[in-house]
Structure 1
Amino acid sequence: MFSPEEWLDSLTPVAAWRLLILGLICIASSNWLFQANGINNVGLFYMLPICVACWRFGFKIAMGIAVAEIALSAATFLSASGHLDTSAMVELVMQLIKFGCTAAVVSRFRQGFDRERLLARRDWMTGILNRHEFQRQAEAMLASATTRHHSLLLVYFDLDGFKAVNDQFGHHAGDRLLQCLAEKGKSLIGPADCFGRMGGDEFAVLMELTKTERALEVTAQLHLGFTAALESTGHRVTCSMGAVVALSSNDASLHELMRQADQLMYAVKRDTKAGFRLAGHAPPFDVDFLLSPRQQTCSHQSHG
């Protein structure tokens, strides 16, 4: 289904300005023709460029467009009658007021639209991506990685002992722990990577690997980073992590990758907890790695 707001947002700034200028030229030309034939009621169409400018560039640009439109209207009046009488001046002033009110309404609507769109894509508790938006962005990353022949690392983890924090210290303490974990996660990944809350105390990370051979090192760094964040809260909470390397040559879907990472995570929870397991689809990742926290530290040092 065609969405005007998404179409406008998809335009480059240059394309948006071309659309505005073309619209102004067409409306001004039509206004001049109608004025020459005694018709004086096309000023309403000037609202369209103002709405587009306000939506795409903001209130100030929209008011600049409005002033330009008033100047065009005045020039049309002069060309048609040779002078600006009192009624024409009053009409121009009223037009400017209407244009300003329209720009203000569209600006407020845009602010509310952006706020609602952000809330729809973010987890309300932690501020990171929610499950739906994580999956949407992750699908795009997988498609891009396949095109550019890059490998990705998908990490899925949940918290061990989190329920005890809620039960003993209350949900406020649990909320603060999740927020602390989310803040740490933002510093562990790059701006182009995905980090989201899948629900409850489960999280996922999808990041691009510069070298496939670094998958074990990167996974260990993530686990150590999240573990340090949990330790800083003062609660006895750890994380169990499953990770999968997605090679560009592999056609596994996001659903399949997340299923595998989820299974690896639960294997860790059954065996040791507070560890991670890494698997992939080709050498050197045809063997799973299961490490305890102590082994993770040693592995990280040996791969550094």
Structure 2
Amino acid sequence: MREDYRSQRSGVFKPTSFSPEQWLDSLTPVAAWRLVVFSSICIAGLDWLFQASSIHNGGPLYMLPICIACWRFDFKTGMSVAVAEITLSAVILLGVSGHLDGSAMIGLVVQLIKFGCAAGIVSRFRQSFDRERLLARRDWMTGILNRQEFQRQAEAMLAPAKTRNQPLLLAYFDLDGFKAVNDRFGHQAGDRLLQCFAEEGKSLIGLEDCFGRMGGDEFAMLIKLSKTECAPEVAERLHVGFTAALESTGHSVTCSMGAVVAVPGDSASLHELMRHADQLMYAVKRDTKAGFSLAGSAPPFDVESLLSPTHQVCSAV
């Protein structure tokens, strides 16, 4: 059962299929504005061609640019687009009928209210969507990335790293003696210990790195190595930092760590890197505990400036 769980958690992350919201979010602000303006002009052109006698005929179509603006930007932007469209509709009415009577003005006001309601609904939905998406990407207990989101971000980090001079260090952690804390002091004590470990991890990484909980008491970290950093030194710094954080909890819990280095041009996938780091971590856990093992992504590995010797096993300080 343990092996089945390890295979599941280290499986290749498969991105979801295309969706409209992902496409809209991928647009730059300039591209999004172009879409709003272009769609508004097209809808106004259709309204003019069909010579609508009132805004009612073109009203539903005019909501599309408003919804796009609210989703991609905010409520105020959406309302600005709505006011611009009402003005454009009034111009079309003047061009078609030659005048704006009282009923037409009332219709324009009613239509603006409808646009405002639609803009409010889309904006509130976007806020709820962002909140739920954030929660879906985070581990509920520690607040760091969950397994799926870690894999997604790690894949994104690995792709450009293979085409530029940017080595990466992938580390996998398992807490030694964690079950005893739960058994003796209860799950609340275990939860606090995991939260302490996660807080330390967040303090050890940069903004472009990622750190996540893989499940239970196991964590993973992917960080960028600068040209001046040596992989063994970074690995030791990580292990020392986590060890100190665990000691501060007052429990006899240590961490075993396996780490691999991925260099530019390396063809190893995230699945292969995580599997290798996982194997190194369990080798430490089986042999010595409270230590770390560091190696290249796929032996033989020869990057002397990053890792010397090729495979290194250390005990905790």
Match of 1:24, as an amino acid?
S
2 CA distance for matches of 1:28 and 1:232? 66
Name the structure 2 match of 1:189: 205
TM-score by length of 1: 0.91
* Residue identity opposite 2:151 in structure 1: Q
Distance 1:160 1:91, change over 3 A: same
Q: After TM superposition, give the deviation of residue 138 of structure 1 in Å.
A: 1.3
> CA contact under 8 A between 1:165 and 1:174: conserved in structure 2?
yes
- 1:287 aligned partner, one-letter code: T
Larger mean Cα displacement after TM superposition, 219-228 or 118-127: 118-127
SS for the counterpart of 2:162 is: helix
1:268 and 2:288 aligned: no
Structure 2 residue 104 is matched with structure 1 residue 88: yes
Q: Which residue of 2 aligns with 1:111?
A: 127
**Which of 66, 87, 96 in structure 2 is aligned with 1:71?**
87
Q: How does 1:1-150 map to 2 (within 5 A)?
A: 1-35=17-51, 41-150=57-166
Q: CA RMSD in A?
A: 1.8
Are positions 1:290 and 2:280 aligned together? no
Gaps of 5+ in 1: 295-304
How many aligned residue pairs are there? 294
Checking the alignment, whether the CA contact within 8 Å between 1:231 and 1:237 is kept in structure 2 is yes
Which amino acid is 1:290 matched to?
V
Q: Give the CA deviation at 1:103.
A: 0.9
- 1:222 matched to 2:238? The reply is yes
Shift of 1:228: 1.6
| Distance in 1 between residues matched to 2:18 and 2:197, nearest whole Å | 39
What is residue 259 of structure 2 aligned with on the other side? Answer: 243
Post-superposition shift, 1:199?
A: 0.5
State the TM-score, normalizing by the size of structure 2: 0.88
How many angstroms does 1:45 deviate by?
0.7
- What does residue 219 of structure 2 align with? 203
Give the Å deviation of 1:99: 0.5
How many Å apart are 1:172 and its aligned residue?
1.1
Bigger helix fraction: 1
1:40 shift after superposition? 5.6
Report the equivalent of 1:164. Answer: 180
Tell me which moved more, 255-264 or 24-33. 24-33
Distance 1:249 1:69 in 2: 52
